[in-house]
Amino acid sequence: MKRIFLIALSLVMITLSAEGADTLRVKQTRIPILIDRKDNVLFYFRVEASASKQLDEIRFCFSRRTDMKEIKAVKLYYGGTEAPQHGAALRDAPVQYLSAHDRCRTREANPSYSVKLQEVTAPPREVIFAPAYPLFPGINYFWVSLEMKPHTSLLSVIDAEMVSATLDGKKAPLLFAAESTPHRMGIGVRHAGDDGVAAYRIPGLVTTRKGTLLGVYDVRYNSSVDLQEHIDVGLSRSTDKGQSWEKMRLPLSFGESGGLPKAQNGVGDPSILVDDQTGTIWIAALWVHGMGNGRAWVNSMDGITPETTGQLVLTKSSDDGKSWSEPVNITPQVKDPSWKLLLQGPGRGITMQDGTLVFPIQFIDSVRVPHAGIMYSKDHGESWAIHAPARSNTTEAQVVETEPGVLMLNMRDNRGGSRAVAVTRDLGRTWTEHPSSRRVLQEPVCMASLIRVRASENVLGRDVLLFSNPNSTQHRNRITIKASLDGGLTFPEEHQLLLDEESGWGYSCLTLIDEETVGILYESSVAHMTFQAVKLTDIVKQAF
C-alpha cells in the first residue's frame, strides 16, 4: 500500500511540476548509519530552480519505531550547484560529502563541500528546518545529516519520511526516488587514518566460545594496494556483541625480518577460525618476504623457501584472542613445490562436527592458473593437509559443513557473473559440482562470506545458510545478506536484506552473535571496516 501511495504521489508531483512549480527530488539513502560518525547522510534532495528563488522550509517526521532519545542532532546542509556537463543527469550530489577514504576525515562532513544551514539537537518527532536560503539559478543540492548518541543500540533503526517543502511561500511537489526504508545502525571499527594507517582491508570475523567477537583485517600502512607492501594483520575484539571494540592488536607482524624493509615483509589476507572443541583461535595469513614490492600474485614463484615464494603462516590464541603465539610456517607441510603461490581463502574457517579444523585455501599452479580448495587438521592444528582443488580459475572461497562430513566450498570465480560452488565428502580428495554453481549467487568477481547456522543454534529452529557479498554482476555495491533454507539450492528474494547500496571494496565476513543475531564485518561505503548486527528474523522473514 505504501509503495502504491508513493507512486501515485510521485505522478501527482510530476503533473504539478509540469504546470510550472519547482519540484524537490528526494532520495533516502540505503547505507549504514554509523554511531561513531558526527554526520550520516539520511536524505539527499535537489531543486531545479527555474521559478523559485528561496527554500523556505522542509519538514520530515520520524516514525514511532524510532527511539528519539538516541538521536543527538539532525542537520540541514546546502551542497551547492551542478556543473553544466552533468546538468542532464539525475544525480543525488555533486560530490561525496563524507568520504570513507580521506584519512582522519571520515567521521564528519567535509566543510569544503557543503554549508551547514541549521542544526536541531534533541529533535522532536517532527523536524522543521526553515533556512530561508536563496537558490542558485538551476540545480541546487541539499542533504540532511543524522548524528547518533554514543549509547545507541546497534539493533536500533531510524524510520523517517520527508513530508513537505516550501519554496517562495508555496508548497513544493516532492518526487521520491524510492520508497522509504528503515536505516540500520553500524560501527566504524576501522577508519582510514586510524592509528596513522592508510587503509584497512580483507575482513574476517568469528564468535569465540565465550561470545567474544574477533575481527581480523589487513593493516595497510602506506596505501590500499595488495601484498607486497607494508601490511600487518590487525585484530579488533568486542566483548559486548559489537557495541564497542578494544584497541587494535597485531597478531602477525614481520617487521624487518631478514634485514629487508617492512614493506618487503608484508603479511595479510587473514582467515580466522575457532576450534569449537578446545577454544583455541587460529589465524592463517600470507607472509611475503622480498619480491621488491611487486605484487605477490604475479611475483611469487615455485619452490618452498621465503626467498622464492609466499609463505602460509599460522598464529594461535589460547586466551580468547587477547594474546597470540609466534608465527608457525606450515608452507613445507602443505605446498606443492611446483605451485607459484599458496595462501588461505580470506575470511574464516570452521570446525567440523568431528573436530576437524578446515581453512579454505587458494593456489596458483605451475602454469599460473588459480584454484580454490581446503586444508584441514585432524589434530587441532598440529599438522595440516591439502588434497585436490575444487575448481580451476577460482580464488577466494569460504567453506561450511552442510551435514556431518560434507563440506561445501563457495568460490570467487574469475569468469565473472556468479559464484562457483562444489561439495566434497572426503576432505577434498574428490569434488562434485553443486546444483547452484554458476547459477544462483551473482557476483562482480569479489570475495564473499558463507556460514551455516544450525537449527539448534537459532530462534528459527531451521538449518540456514547465510551468504553476503555485493549483490551485483558489475560493481562492488549493494552489500546484501541472503538466506537459504534448502541447503544452498536457492536464496529467495524474500530472504534477502540490503545493507549498503553504495560502492566500496566489497569484502565481508559473517558470524552468528547469538541465537537471534547475525554480525557482519565488511568493507562498506562509509568506513573501511564496518560492523553491523542484524536480527535473523529481519533476513528470514517468512520461514514457515
Known catalytic residues are: 396
Is 291 in contact with 264 (CB distance < 8 Å)? yes
- Please, how many CA atoms are within 13 Å of residue 383, restricted to the half-sphere of its CB? 4
376-407 as b/e: b if 16+ CB within 10 A: bbeebbeebebeebbbeebbbbbbbbeeeeeb
Query: What is the 3-class SS of 291-360, one letter each residue?
Result: HHHCCHHHHCCCCCCCCCCCEEEEEEECCCCCCCCCCEECHHHHCCCCCCEEEECCEECEECCCCCEEEE
Q: Which of 377, 362, 455 is closest to 412 using CA atoms?
A: 362
Is 272 in contact with 216 (CB distance < 8 Å)? yes
| 3-state SS class at 24 | strand
- Cα–Cα dist 166/328, whole Å: 67
All residues at 6 or more sequence positions from 184 whose CB lies less than 8 Å from its CB, including other chains = 32, 33, 157, 499, 532, 534
Is 220 in contact with 233 (CB distance < 8 Å)? no
Q: What are the DSSP E strand ranges found in 333-459?
A: 341-344, 347-348, 350-351, 357-364, 370-377, 385-386, 391-392, 394-403, 406-413, 417-418, 420-424, 432-433, 442-443, 449-453
